[in-house]
Amino acid sequence: MTLQSEGVDLGRSVVSKVEMAQKYRFACPTCEERVIVDRDVRDKLLTQGCVVCSASVYPNCFEPV
Ligand SMILES: [Zn+2]
């Protein structure tokens, strides 16, 4: 029976998932769009610009939440 050890592993992966899913509050300096994003979306905004007004976005537009 491996049920118990699977439960432990599941708990561990939940903890690391929470750490991976760091959220950021994005505030666009140009159009003042404000939205909570995760790390993937943050990276996308940094490379592609604001989704609303296309302005360049900088790391200081993000604040960890
Ligand atoms: Zn914008």
From ligand 1's centre to the CA of 16, what distance in Å?
Answer: 32
From ligand 1's centre to the CA of 26, what distance in Å?
Answer: 10
From ligand 1's centre to the CA of 31, what distance in Å?
Answer: 4
Q: Which tens digits make up the pLDDT trace of 25-57?
A: 999 999 999 999 999 999 999 999 999 999 999
Question: The tokens of 22 are what?
Answer: 């760091």
Which stretch of DSSP H or E encloses residue 16? helix 3-20
From ligand 1's centre to the CA of 49, what distance in Å?
Answer: 8
From ligand 1's centre to the CA of 18, what distance in Å?
Answer: 28
Alpha-carbon Rg for the chain in angstroms: 17
Whether the pLDDT of residue 59 is over 80: the answer is: yes
Instruction: Answer positive or negative: Cα dihedral of 11, 16, 19, 23.
Output: negative
